[in-house]
Amino acid sequence: MTRSDVIAAIATPPGRGGIGVVRVSGRNLQSLALKIVGCVPEPRRASLTRFRDENGRVIDQGIALYFPAPQSYTGEEVLELQGHGGPAVMNLLLASCLSAGARLAQPGEFTLRAFLNDKLDLAQAESVADLIDASTEEAARCAIRSLQGEFSNAIHVLVQALTDLRMLVEASLDFSEEEIEFISGRELEVRLEHLRHQLEQVLSSARQGSLLREGIWIALVGQPNVGKSSLLNRLAGEEVAIVTEIPGTTRDVIHQVIEIEGVPLHLLDTAGLRETEDVIEKMGMARTRSTIDRASIVLLLVDSRVGITPEDRAILASLPPGLRLIVVHNKTDLLESEPNSTLSIAPATTDIWVSAKTGEGIGLLQQRLLEMIGWQPSAGEGAFMARQRHLSALTAAQTHLEAACALATSMDQVELFAEELRLAQLALSSITGEFSADDLLGEIFSRFCIGK
């Protein structure tokens, strides 16, 4: 990708607003600034000015900010034009920049240039998009920690420790005939154990951050009229779904994101599963089956007044293997006696009795969901905003480090031991972008919004 040309894009969301921003980045922006602003603004100082099109006509009046290289977000010269935030004004201002020699920026290209100019490493660059996309306050705080370099610093500490250890091992290989002991067996054991512990801590924090970033998908399934929509409304804290006494009211999948202790949970209310000749209801049930395939956890709702029915067991048998399951016995407010806690589909099944109408048992259900996904509230403040590629790299590094530890017991195969350390270091370095393929960079930054 060419980095010497000038790029421009609208950096504020589509729609109407008090202020809109057009961002320009590249080399030699003075000529572009002269055409649009009429001067080169004083560096890092807001200048009230008129913006003009290619014919010299005034488009708008606003603020111009100029950041010389390398003291800018991208590491290049950056010009930010802040005008009135109407779509027509922003489009005219962007068109003026394009006429003055810029080209339209690709998604994420400003942040890509910041990465290529060493303003951010790859993990920090990804956290920019994660901060924008954060759906909860806890996720936003986690993303800003990664943007400030906490995740990258933890990775650098691991890489440096591996580098130091590899240096000693490689020296032992290079001078094997000199009878010089560069590292004792005990010191090697201590270093490896410390590395394993550090890596496990980083991986644990990354898993917590991944939950904050991705959330978890939960499908509410069951027979018609067992209270799936009522439970959705109770968990969401608002009337999201229509609730009636008529079975089969829900025909389509309803998606609602809720937050429990800062963790986003994607709730999917589905059509009731039963035998029917209704064509539309059949379509709804087909979508239910598709939704279940996407979910990580299934809440199987049953009517606590009648217990587990053959129809409930048939639904359970139809679920994909390996899904985590909670059986929710709903409508406890209508029971004439205490619920029978011995009722269960299987001995290992998690059963929770609730009333979606009154809220009884909802707190216990929420807590059980967090436990099931592995959320640790105490780890939230130290979590790193991690993507799947980060988890995969950390897991690969852990695998190679474990293999190195196994080889270290005898050190008969020092070359293999050194290679496992090298592979562990390579996996970790891919997180911060020290070793990254161009196609990976293209995939990562293509998911950014335009203007960032």
Q: Does residue 229 have a known ligand-binding role?
A: yes
The tokens describing 220, both together, are 């509410």
Q: Does residue 248 have a known ligand-binding role?
A: yes
Q: Does residue 228 have a known ligand-binding role?
A: yes
Q: Does residue 246 have a known ligand-binding role?
A: yes
Q: Does residue 80 have a known ligand-binding role?
A: yes
Q: Does residue 119 have a known ligand-binding role?
A: yes
Q: Does residue 130 have a known ligand-binding role?
A: no
Q: Does residue 91 have a known ligand-binding role?
A: no
* Residue 75 near residue 136 (C-beta atoms within 8 A): no
Q: Does residue 226 have a known ligand-binding role?
A: yes
Three-class SS of the chain? CCCCCCEEEECCCCCCEEEEEEEEEECCCHHHHHHHCCCCCCECCCEEEEEECCCCCEEEEEEEEEECCCCCCCCCEEEEEEEEECHHHHHHHHHHHHHCCCEECCCCHHHHHHHHCCCCCHHHHHHHHHHHHCCCHHHHHHHHHHHCCHHHHHHHHHHHHHHHHHHHHHHHHHCHHHCCCCCCHHHHHHHHHHHHHHHHHHHHHHHHHHHHHHCEEEEEEECCCCCHHHHHHHHHCCCCCCCCCCCCCCCCCEEEEEEECCEEEEEEECCCCCCCCCHHHHHHHHHHHHHHHHCCEEEEEEECCCCCCHHHHHHHHHCCCCCEEEEEEECHHHCCCCCCCCCCCCCCCEEEECCCCCCCCHHHHHHHHHHHHCCCHHHHHHCCCCCHHHHHHHHHHHHHHHHHHHHCCCCCCHHHHHHHHHHHHHHHHHHHCCCCCHHHHHHHHCCCCCCC
Q: Does residue 249 have a known ligand-binding role?
A: yes
**Binding region for (6S)-5-formyl-5,6,7,8-tetrahydrofolate:** 23, 80, 119, 452
Binding residues: 23, 80, 119, 225-230, 244-250, 269-272, 452
Annotated binding site for K(+): 225, 244, 246, 249
Residue ranges of the annotated binding site for GTP are 225-230, 244-250, 269-272
Residue numbers in the known binding site for Mg(2+) are 229, 250
